[in-house]
Amino acid sequence: MPTIAILPGDGIGPEVTDQAVRVIEKLNELFDAQFEVQTQPVGGTAYEMHDHPLPDSTLSLAKSADAILLGAVGGPQWEKVDRQLRPEKALLGLRSELDLFSNLRPAMLFPELADASTLKPEVVSGLDIMIVRELTGGIYFGGPRAIEGEAGSRKGYNTMVYTEAEIARIARSAFEMAMQRDKRLCSVDKANVLEVSELWREVVTEVGNSYPEVELSHMYIDNACMQLVRAPKQFDVIVTTNMFGDILSDAASMLTGSIGMLPSASLDSNGKGMYEPVHGSAPDIAGEGKANPLATILSVAMMMRSTFGNEEFAAAIEAAVKQTLADGLRTGDIAREGEATVSTEAMGDAVVDRM
């Protein structure tokens, strides 16, 4: 029986994961899917209970489960906690312990929500791009790194480093993704300035020889940022390094104008993954029943497709979300001025009813 670890976390995390669990239960009912869900605390909530944001019991469930669904972590009450014990450390711990090197961040805009974007509706309506970001290497982890020297003449430095093996595995992940989509992959680097990018480009091109059906292009990061706001629909799949992906994926998510709608996945080399909404714990609305659960529900759809290889389940969830939006149901974050809004639970009800 496939097990899904549910790590609700903090703030609105439990509210949105509750609705996603109802969607998983609905899959069990409709398709006799037999998913078993098991829940453990993570982040600040876990710190309160076990003095650690990623207790052993949570990590061992994450390791033994077939897939993980995470809500969100963090909140103002833990900002003064020792850096090593902050809620966000749980995310880094899960990524490194489970070797989740491939971060998938789709930016898609349901046509019903085109006017939520700050860009013109015709530029973004129907947008559907996938950013594949390398998540466990590059400048965020590379050494040497330090701030050193005497006050007044200190220097700070980091190292952007990638091995051929690290580049090849993220490239394969991106080509595989492109094969499931429109078969176009754009690799983003800074090969005109950085040696590490020169190697990146070489290795991505080599990996591409095994995927002759995928049209591979290369773009410098500065141009990619420009193109992403000028004509975002030119992209299908983008693959890039940890830091460039961090920046590009946030910019891409803002194109859609509604952070409460965006799912994400972080995968290991066997397709096991941790799925989570892109948004944080939204302490400003936590406990008020105002959170949009659709990003978390769409994360379950990604899980069905990427970890369980089940297109039918993924499509059933996505179609229900689409119908919910078409029927005019809106949480506050995606409602137009003066439009009626529904609660987190009512949004969950609507999706489950339409599955």
Q: Which residues bind ligand NAD (CB under 6 A)?
A: 12, 16, 72-75, 88, 91, 259-260, 276, 279-285, 291-292, 295, 331, 333
Shortest Cβ 125–ligand NAD spacing (Å): 22
Of 337, 338, 223, 277, nearest to 14 by C-alpha is: 277
CB 235 within 8 A of CB 216: no
- Nearer Cβ to ligand NAD (96/234): 96
Q: What are the backbone angles phi and psi of residue 224, rounded to the nearest 5°?
A: -60, -40
| DSSP designation for 105 | E
Of 61, 21, 40, 127, nearest to 351 by C-alpha is: 21
The answer to whether 190 is a known catalytic residue is yes
Helix (H, G, I), strand (E, B) or coil at 222: helix
Shortest Cβ 87–ligand NAD spacing (Å): 7
- Among candidate residues 10, 189, 246, 333, the one labeled active-site is 246
Give per-residue burial for 200-232: e unless 16+ CB within 10 Å, then b: beebbeebbeebeebebebbbbeebbebbeeeb
Of 353, 301, 343, 299, nearest to 323 by C-alpha is: 353
- Among candidate residues 222, 284, 327, 353, the one labeled active-site is 222
| Cα–Cα dist 340/200, whole Å | 49
Q: Looking at the DSSP assignment, which residues form a beta bridge with residue 107?
A: 129
- Nearer Cβ to ligand NAD (20/282): 282
Shortest Cβ 7–ligand NAD spacing (Å): 10
Shortest Cβ 68–ligand NAD spacing (Å): 13
Helix (H, G, I), strand (E, B) or coil at 100: coil
How many helices (H) and strands (E) would you count in the chain?
12, 12
- Nearer Cβ to ligand NAD (131/160): 131
- Nearer Cβ to ligand NAD (208/260): 260
| Cα–Cα dist 106/131, whole Å | 6
- Among candidate residues 99, 250, 322, 349, the one labeled active-site is 250
- Nearer Cβ to ligand NAD (37/335): 335
- Nearer Cβ to ligand NAD (69/72): 72
The answer to whether 353 is a known catalytic residue is no
Shortest Cβ 70–ligand NAD spacing (Å): 7
Give the Cα-Cα-Cα angle 335, 336, 338 (nearest 5 degrees).
100
The answer to whether 162 is a known catalytic residue is no
- Among candidate residues 128, 140, 182, 349, the one labeled active-site is 140
Give the Å distances, CA to CA, from 186 to 105, 239, 258, 302, 335: 15, 6, 25, 21, 33
CB contact set of 338 (below 8 Å; sequence gap of 6+):
none
The answer to whether 211 is a known catalytic residue is no
Crossing angle between the packed helical segments 13-31 and 311-326, to the nearest 10 degrees: 120
- Nearer Cβ to ligand NAD (58/292): 292
Shortest Cβ 333–ligand NAD spacing (Å): 4
Shortest Cβ 257–ligand NAD spacing (Å): 11
The answer to whether 246 is a known catalytic residue is yes
Q: Which are the catalytic amino acids?
A: 140, 190, 222, 246, 250
